[in-house]
C-alpha cells in the first residue's frame, strides 16, 4: 500500500517516514513539487490512527494561512487515503537544528521563526482550534520563515477532541488530565522558544514520570539570564508562556505582536476571513471531531492514557512522539 502509485502524482523520492505515514517528494499534474503523505498499512488498520490521518487531511485542506502548512489535495479515509502538502525543501525546524554544528539558530533567525509560529497559532486560535503538538519537529521552514504543520491532533474547541501532546512540550494541565486548550498551545510554544533561544529544553527527564514531575514542579530559569540578548518585553512574555496555570499565560496573539515588535515589524491585525479551500474527498465524519461536551469542563476531559487504552495498549509517549 505504501508503495502504491497515486494517479496524478509522479513519486520522486522518499522525504521521510513518521509514525503514521511515508512522505514522498512528488510532482503533481500541474508540475508542482509536493510532499505526498501516504498512510502506512498499520495506520489504516487502526481506527484511532486512521482518524488522526483523516483529521490531518481535513484540516490541512481547510486552514489557509501563510504560517500554517497548506494541503493541496487529499483523501481522508480508506485505501486511497493520501495528503498532498506544500513541500518545504529545508524540512522541519528540528532537521535544520540537527544540521547545525551548534544545534542552535542565531537570535536573528530565531525571532522570525517564533513570530511565524505565533502567527500560525493566532490564526488557529481565532478559528477556535487547538493544535496540540507545537514542537520543532512540526514546524516547517523555508527561506528563514516558518509554518506550523502536522494538524493530526488539532481539534475545534466547540467540538472537542482527545487530549494529547508530546511530553517535552506538554502543558502541566494535560499531565493533570484536565485537557488541552489554546493556553496549552502557548505553553508548548514557550517550551520551544526556550529551546531555540537557550539551546536547552527547559524541562528535562528521561521517562514520562520524570518529565511530568519537571513540568509540574520545576521552574525554568529566567530567559533574560539564559539569553540576555532577547529584547526584554519579548523575553518576559515568553517566560509567562510557561506559567503553570493556563490563565496566567499570554495569548498567542500577544506573543505574536511582541515578537514582531522585537523584530522591528509593525504587527498587523490578522486577516481571518476564510479563503476557499480545496474539497476533501470524504463524506465520513472524522471520529475525533464527533460532537462532544465542552472542553472547559475537567470532568469531561479525556486523560491521555485513556485515549490510548481504547486502542488496546498503554499509551507510550516515548514510542509515539519525540
Ligand atoms: N511538507 C513537507 N515538506 C518537506 N518534508 C516533509 C513535509 N511533510 C513531511 N515531511 C518529511 O517527512 C517526515 C515525516 O512526516 P510526519 O512527521 O508528518 O509524518 P507522520 O507519520 O504524520 O508524523 P508522526 O510521526 O508525528 O505521526 C518529516 O519529519 C519530514 O522530514
Which protein residues touch ligand 1 with a CB less than 6 Å away? 15-21, 23, 35, 69, 85-88, 91-92, 140, 150
Asked if residue 317 has pLDDT above 60, the reply is no
Q: Which of 90, 106, 133, 296 is catalytic?
A: 133
Q: Of the candidates 124, 187, 175, 178, which has an alpha carbon nearest to the alpha carbon of residue 153?
A: 124
- 130-150 mean pLDDT: 96
Asked if residue 315 has pLDDT above 50, the reply is no
**Paired residues of 35 in beta bridges:** 25, 85
Percent of the chain surpassing pLDDT 90 = 72
**Confidence band (pLDDT; 50, 70, 90) for 255?**
very high
pLDDT-wise least confident of 2-11, 24-33, 47-56, 88-97: 2-11
Q: Of the candidates 135, 248, 240, 152, which has an alpha carbon nearest to the alpha carbon of residue 195?
A: 135
Which of the following CATH numbers is that of domain 1-87: 3.30.200.20, 3.30.70.1520, 1.10.730.10, 3.60.10.10?
3.30.200.20
For Cα atoms 245, 271, 83, give the angle at the middle one, nearest 5 degrees.
80
Which of 13, 18, 68 is the pocket-test mutation for ligand 1 (most atoms within 8 Å of CB)?
18
What is the position in ligand 1's atom list of the atom closest to the CA of 89?
4
* Under 8 Å between Cβ of 141 and 98: no
pLDDT-wise least confident of 77-86, 98-107, 183-192, 203-212: 98-107
> What pLDDT, on a 0 to 100 scale, did the predictor assign at position 270?
61
Asked if residue 75 has pLDDT above 60, the reply is yes
- 259-281 mean pLDDT: 65
Tell me how crowded residue 99 is: count the other CB atoms within 10 A of its CB. Answer: 10
> What pLDDT, on a 0 to 100 scale, did the predictor assign at position 116?
97
* Under 8 Å between Cβ of 44 and 81: yes
What is the position in ligand 1's atom list of the atom closest to the CA of 94?
29
pLDDT-wise least confident of 74-83, 168-177, 271-280: 271-280
**Confidence band (pLDDT; 50, 70, 90) for 160?**
confident
* Under 8 Å between Cβ of 118 and 135: no
- 228-249 mean pLDDT: 96
**Confidence band (pLDDT; 50, 70, 90) for 3?**
low
Q: Of the candidates 42, 40, 3, which has an alpha carbon nearest to the alpha carbon of residue 21?
A: 40
**Paired residues of 86 in beta bridges:** 34
> What pLDDT, on a 0 to 100 scale, did the predictor assign at position 6?
87
Asked if residue 247 has pLDDT above 70, the reply is yes
Which of 14, 21, 23 is the pocket-test mutation for ligand 1 (most atoms within 8 Å of CB)?
23
pTM score, whole prediction: 0.84
Longest dimension (CA), the chain: 55
* Under 8 Å between Cβ of 68 and 120: yes
| Secondary structure (DSSP) of 240-283 | HHT-SSGGGSPPHHHHHHHHHHHTTPPPPPP--PPPP-PPPS--
Sequence spans of domains, the chain: 1-87, 93-262
> What pLDDT, on a 0 to 100 scale, did the predictor assign at position 16?
93
172: exposed, middle or buried (Cβ count in 10 Å: 0-12, 13-18, 19+): buried
Pairing of β 82-86 and β 129-130: unpaired
> What pLDDT, on a 0 to 100 scale, did the predictor assign at position 223?
92
Class at the top of the CATH hierarchy for domain 93-262? mainly alpha
- Check if 150 is active-site: no
What is the position in ligand 1's atom list of the atom closest to the CA of 43?
21
Q: Which residue has the cell 526584554?
A: 232
Q: Of the candidates 63, 52, 61, 58, which has an alpha carbon nearest to the alpha carbon of residue 21?
A: 52
State how far Cα 79 lies from the chain centre: 26
Amino acid at each position: 500500500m505504501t508503495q502504491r502509485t497515486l494517479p496524478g502524482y509522479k513519486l520522486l523520492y522518499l522525504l521521510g517516514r513518521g509514525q503514521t505515514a511515508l512522505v514522498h517528494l512528488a510532482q503533481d499534474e500541474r508540475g508542482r513539487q509536493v510532499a505526498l503523505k501516504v498512510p502506512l498499512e498499520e495506520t489504516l488498520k487502526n481506527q484511532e490512527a486512521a482518524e488522526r490521518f483523516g483529521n490531518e487531511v481535513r484540516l490541512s485542506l481547510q486552514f489557509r494561512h501563510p504560517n500554517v502548512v497548506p494541503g493541496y489535495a487529499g483523501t481522508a479515509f480508506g485505501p486511497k487515503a493520501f495528503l498532498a502538502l506544500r513541500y518545504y525543501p529545508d524540512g522541519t525546524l528540528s532537521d535544520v537544528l540537527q544540521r547545525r554544528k551548534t544545534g542552535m539558530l542565531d537570535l536573528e533567525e530565531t525571532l522570525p521563526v517564533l513570530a511565524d509560529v505565533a502567527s500560525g497559532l493566532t490564526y488557529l486560535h481565532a478559528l477556535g482550534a487547538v493544535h496540540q503538538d507545537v514542537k520543532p519537529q512540526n514546524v516547517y521552514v523555508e527561506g528563514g520563515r516558518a509554518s506550523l504543520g502536522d494538524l493530526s491532533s488539532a481539534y475545534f474547541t466547540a467540538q472537542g477532541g482527545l487530549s494529547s501532546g508530546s511530553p517535552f512540550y506538554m502543558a502541566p494541565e494535560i499531565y493533570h488530565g484536565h485537557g488541552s486548550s489554546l493556553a496549552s498551545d502557548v505553553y508548548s510554544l514557550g517550551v520551544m522558544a526556550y529551546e531555540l533561544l537557550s539551546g536547552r529544553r527547559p524541562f528535562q527527564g528521561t521517562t514520562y514520570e520524570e518529565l511530568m514531575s519537571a513540568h509540574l514542579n520545576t521552574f525554568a530559569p529566567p530567559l533574560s539570564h539564559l539569553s540576555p540578548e532577547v529584547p526584554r518585553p519579548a523575553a518576559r512574555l515568553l517566560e509567562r508562556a510557561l506559567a503553570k496555570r493556563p490563565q496566567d499565560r499570554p495569548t498567542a496573539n500577544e506573543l505574536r505582536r511582541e515578537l514582531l515588535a522585537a523584530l522591528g515589524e509593525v504587527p498587523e491585525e490578522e486577516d481571518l476571513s476564510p479563503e476557499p479551500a480545496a474539497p476533501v474527498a470524504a463524506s465520513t465524519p472524522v471520529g475525533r471531531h464527533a460532537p462532544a461536551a465542552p472542553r472547559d469542563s475537567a470532568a469531561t476531559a479525556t486523560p491521555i492514557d485513556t485515549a490510548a487504552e481504547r486502542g488496546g495498549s498503554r499509551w507510550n509517549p516515548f514510542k509515539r512522539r519525540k
